[in-house]
Amino acid sequence: MSAPRQLDSPLYALLHNEDIEGFNAQKSQGGDVDLTDGDFRGLDLRRLDTEGINFTNGYFRGADLRGLDLRNTRMDGASIAHAQISGVYFPVELSADEILMSLNFGTRMRYRPSEK
């Protein structure tokens, strides 16, 4: 498991400076957004366009995620310890238990096996 880190990416720099409008404008120009292993501690990410972002192994301790729609993001291995999550849509692959364990204890969220 990788430790959270500062990423060398212009989009990550916008997020780290909480320039959500700038991030959304750059993201809308297309391309994949891979923020794997990113450190998002304490950031206010409300109003972020999360569609298609890869947040695998992301570290969101104390971040403000209120109102985000994370259904079409990758969140496996992410930790949301003590984050604000009111109104968040999480990926359907994450069980409520995984989300609560991560929120309360900082565990890394694991996707449940797909049901076919």
| pLDDT tens, N- to C-terminus, the chain (116 residues) | 577 889 999 999 999 999 999 999 999 998 789 999 999 999 999 999 999 999 999 999 999 999 999 999 999 999 999 999 999 999 999 999 999 999 999 999 999 876 65
- The boundaries of the domain holding residue 73 are 1-116
CA distance 5 to 58: 9
Number of domains in the chain: 1
- Contact present, 80 and 58 (Cβ < 8 Å): no
The answer to pTM > 0.85 is yes
CA distance 60 to 84: 10
80-115 burial, b if ≥16 CB within 10 A, otherwise e?
Answer: bbbbbbeebebbebbeeebbebbbeeeebbeeeeee
